[in-house]
Amino acid sequence: MLLKIVSVGEPVLRKQARPLTAEEIRSAHIQDLIAYMRDTMHDAPGVGLAAPQVGQSLQLAVIEDKPDYQKNLSDADLKERERKPVPFHVIINPQIELLTPLDVSFHEGCLSLPGFMAVVPRARKVRVTCLDERGKSRTIEASGWYARILQHEIDHLTGRMYIDRMQSETFATLENYQRQQKK
């Protein structure tokens, strides 16, 4: 089942999401929500989707960066972004630690702000402590694009969006961004 992705301006996107208990995580409701979020993320398509983006103020996000999503990028672009495929996984109640300064800047977009992009500085390396879809504790050490995805999705769980962190002079429509990239 596909869920409706809410757009910027919806109050749920600006609220601190609530944590889930281990019992809730194992419930049929949350397990169904995870499956629906996965389907919705794939359909969009996107590399991450946080529960607030589908109207649920819960500290839950799904992430997957498929090889297919990278096929149109050059080897140089993939290397510069440190972008590699990331298998599907779930992060619940994440706590993030930035292991490097916010000194890596690339364009980001968001499924809740379709058709726009901007340059956003992020940390190159992060450590995330969270629960997985079974409620088991997990620690993720990530770098490059994967670290960027984690930071973006965890921002959603705290009521932040990339537009809060962007270099405002770089904010552009996707069409204008793509036109500039071809020059």
Cα 52 to chain center, whole Å?
11
Angle 170-46-20 from CA coordinates, rounded to 5°: 105
CB-neighbour burial class of residue 126 (10 A; exposed 0-12, middle 13-18, buried 19+): buried
Active site includes 169?
no
Amino acid at 3: L
Catalytic residue, candidates 64, 108, 133, 153: 153
Angle 182-153-128 from CA coordinates, rounded to 5°: 120
Residues serving a catalytic function are: 153
